[in-house]
Amino acid sequence: MKANTMNKNAALSNHNKIVTKNCFTIYNLFSDKAKQLILKTKNQGGATLFVGSGISLDSPTLLPSGENVTRYLAELLTEQFELTSRKEKTEVINAIIGTPFEYVWDQSPQNKQLEFVFINEYKNRQPNNIHYAIRDLVINGTIKHVITTNYDTCLDQVFQNIDFIKEVATENDSRNIESNQGIYFKIHGSAKSGLESTIVYRLSHEGILPSWKQKVLRRCLSNANLIVVGYSGLDFEICPEIKLAK
């Protein structure tokens, strides 16, 4: 399995740089080698795309990134401390920002109030051009499987008329995947009405990935070229599984 990562700054300075690390060969997504590989995978049945919150930042979706959610929670946390200066508050916030928001959430004194606001923030958002581009790549066969940690329903909306890719957000969904079917795997759950309980947004929800999720993830990654876009890689339960799925 090869992983292609999108990083615009790296693209400018290391356009064709190839890095071999552990079981992966990592290509800059903008490099000539990565482009050749993506075209090759289309002829081989399509690659697996792993997307994070970065694809939902643009208008009209305008969802916050995981880092911005962490910043918001950090600001709430500092309200419980008797900080004497703005400098102290800024130092505390900056110390927290590099932490996954699921951990920070568990430390928030107002997490019950936040839960309703947080989940509803991800409902009723409109897809942006990135979501439509992903749809087109699925339709033309460049992408076979899509894995996302995103809760929003933007990809749900653009995939709704594609019958050869199956949405998997629950264990029950995972039991009915046809042998050659594409998978749209919402590995951290969905904000879709009726599926709110599937959302992973607190550290207590993470841990060892449930066995059914492990199986779906490994099916998506097995012998596949992996393209990663807009994902931080800060999920404790997912990243080790990606390595195991080589």
Identify the band that residue 5 occupies on the pLDDT scale cut at 50, 70 and 90: very low
- The pLDDT of residue 90 is 83
Distance (Å, rounded) from C-alpha 39 to C-alpha 28? 15
| Confidence label for 204 from pLDDT (cuts 50, 70 and 90) | low
Question: Is the predicted pLDDT of residue 12 greater than 60, yes or no?
Answer: no
How would DSSP label each residue in 179-228?
TT-EEEEETT---STT-GGG---SGGG-SSPPHHHHHHHHHHHTT--EEE
pLDDT in tens, 44-59: 889 999 999 999 999 9
Q: Do the Cβ atoms of 94 and 71 come closer than 8 Å? A: no
pLDDT at 7: 38
Q: Rounded to whole angstroms, how far apart are CA atoms 239 and 42?
A: 25
pLDDT at residue 71, as a whole number: 75
Q: Which of 33, 90, 38, 93 is nearest to 68 (CA)?
A: 93
pTM (two decimals): 0.76
How confident is the model at residue 55, as a pLDDT? Answer: 95
The pLDDT mean for the chain works out to: 80
Q: Residue 99 carries which side chain, given as an amino acid letter?
A: T
Tokens 């749900």 sit on residue: 156
Nearest in space to 199 (alpha carbons), one of 208, 209, 210, 187: 187
For residue 16, what pLDDT is reported?
47
pLDDT of residue 240: 84
Q: How confident is the model at residue 207 (pLDDT cuts 50, 70, 90)?
A: low
Name the pLDDT band for 151 (thresholds 50, 70, 90): very high
Task: Identify which has the larger pLDDT, 144 or 105.
Answer: 144
Cis peptide before 100 (omega within 30 of 0): no
Residues 171/76, Cβ–Cβ less than 8 Å: no
- Per residue in 30-45, pLDDT tens? 788 888 888 888 888 8
pLDDT band at 3 (very low <50, low <70, confident <90, very high): very low
For residue 108, give the amino acid letter: S
Predicted pLDDT at 202: 60
Q: What is the pLDDT of residue 140?
A: 92
Residue 191 above 80 pLDDT?
Answer: yes
